[in-house]
């Protein structure tokens, strides 16, 4: 995973490219829950946060 900046200046994190048969592909329930907690915390302190599907 690494930090990136979109063409419009939006900062976000992205997974590194991996082979399709990598066992760590996909997101676990715990990973999705952690993303939701992080987004909620960011919103609570006045930041904008959107969770990608």
| The pLDDT value given to residue 25 | 67
Q: What is the pLDDT of residues 3-24, one digit of tens each?
A: 899 999 989 887 777 666 665 6
- How far is residue 2's CA from residue 41's CA, in Å, rounded to a whole number? 20
Domain boundaries, the chain: 27-53
How far apart are alpha carbons 5 and 8 in whole angstroms?
A: 8
Which pLDDT belongs to residue 47?
94
For the question of whether the overall pTM of this predicted structure is more than 0.85, the answer is no
Taking only the tens place, the pLDDT of each residue in 18-48 is: 666 665 667 888 988 999 999 999 999 999 9
Quote the pLDDT of residue 27.
80
Q: Supply the DSSP symbol for 9.
A: S
């Amino acid at each position: 995973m690494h930090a990136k900046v979109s063409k419009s200046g939006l900062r976000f994190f992205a997974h590194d490219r991996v082979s399709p048969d990598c066992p760590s592909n996909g997101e676990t329930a715990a990973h999705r829950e952690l993303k939701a907690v992080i987004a909620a915390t960011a919103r609570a302190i006045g930041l904008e946060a959107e969770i990608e599907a």
